[in-house]
Amino acid sequence: MNDAVARQGLVLMGCGKMGGAMLSGWLKGGLPPASVWVRDPHPAAWLGEAGVHINADFPDAPAVALIAVKPQMMGAALPDVAALGGGKTLVISVAAGTPIAKFEEVFGPGTPVIRAMPNTPAAIGRGITAIIGNATATDAHLALAEELLSAIGQVVRLENEAQMDAVTAVSGSGPAYVFHLIETLAAAGVAEGLSAELAMTLAKATVGGAGDLAEQASEDPGQLRVNVTSPNGTTQAALEVLMDETNGFPALLKRAVKAAADRSKELSRDG
């Protein structure tokens, strides 16, 4: 774990599922519990056992303040950490729908701010997080954010903040699309005569295994699809339905992702 973080300290605002997953990863990675200050109105019991500071006064200039509160709690949470602005502390936000400009208003334009969008597989260390920094954030700040956020999975950098809406729609909301795919695939199996339990077992394992294969294989997903599709076979029969340009996956997912991206833009404006 980064020496500066261990030496100067890290403030974690909010320690729910996402904040807790990150903290667990940092502690496993060697960050001393005494270097962590957690601010949370309802701290979990395991935090006390972990040895971190809970709802205590912050150090004067921690290396990082990571904001992991829910967007609706942002107004109440930010004043508590506003004093950390000015440039000595890197501010990282994993809160959805809150633009960098909001944090610059609170912490001041001289504060390095990085906005991050993780997703729910972070809970098992399989998430992916996209990050973008403000003009004050340096490559060193971005590298530190990558190191911290890698505790919950992969990290990618964006070219500009406007891309965050598309990221939200693809990877942020994307797990819900996959969960719904599992639900509907299992329901289709039941309609063809399988028991509900067996259909769900098959659907979960199929989606999970295919996702792992897509990540690990040297071929791209298009080629993997071709590999499993025999001419005039069962898979081709199904794909002719799913790949229909009007009613299949291409049109459906394009509409779904656009709806999510549009809503993300609305939330950012409201924030």
CATH 1.10.3730.10 positions along the chain are 172-270
Tally of CA atoms within 13 A in the half-sphere of 180 that contains its CB: 7
Contact 11, 39 (CB under 8 A): yes
Residues with Cβ within 8 Å of residue 175, at least 6 apart in sequence = 119, 120, 121
Annotated binding-site residue? 71: yes
Q: Which CATH code, of 2.10.25.10, 3.40.50.720, 3.40.50.11540, 1.10.1040.10, is assigned to 3-167?
A: 3.40.50.720
**pLDDT tens sequence for the chain (271 residues):** 678 899 999 999 999 999 999 999 999 999 999 999 999 999 999 999 999 999 999 998 999 999 999 877 888 888 889 999 999 999 999 988 889 999 999 999 899 999 999 999 999 999 999 999 999 999 999 999 999 999 999 999 999 999 999 999 999 999 999 999 999 999 999 999 999 999 999 999 999 999 999 999 999 999 999 999 999 999 999 999 999 999 999 999 999 999 999 998 888 777 5
Q: Which CATH code, of 1.10.3720.10, 1.10.1380.10, 1.10.3730.10, 2.70.98.40, is assigned to 172-270?
A: 1.10.3730.10
Q: Which amino acid is at 92?
A: I
Annotated binding-site residue? 55: yes
CATH 3.40.50.720 positions along the chain are 3-167
Annotated binding-site residue? 265: no
pLDDT score, position 216: 96
Pairing relation of β-strands 127-133 and 113-117? antiparallel
Sheet of 90-93: strand order equals 53-54, 36-39, 10-13, 64-67, 90-93, 113-117, 127-133, 153-157
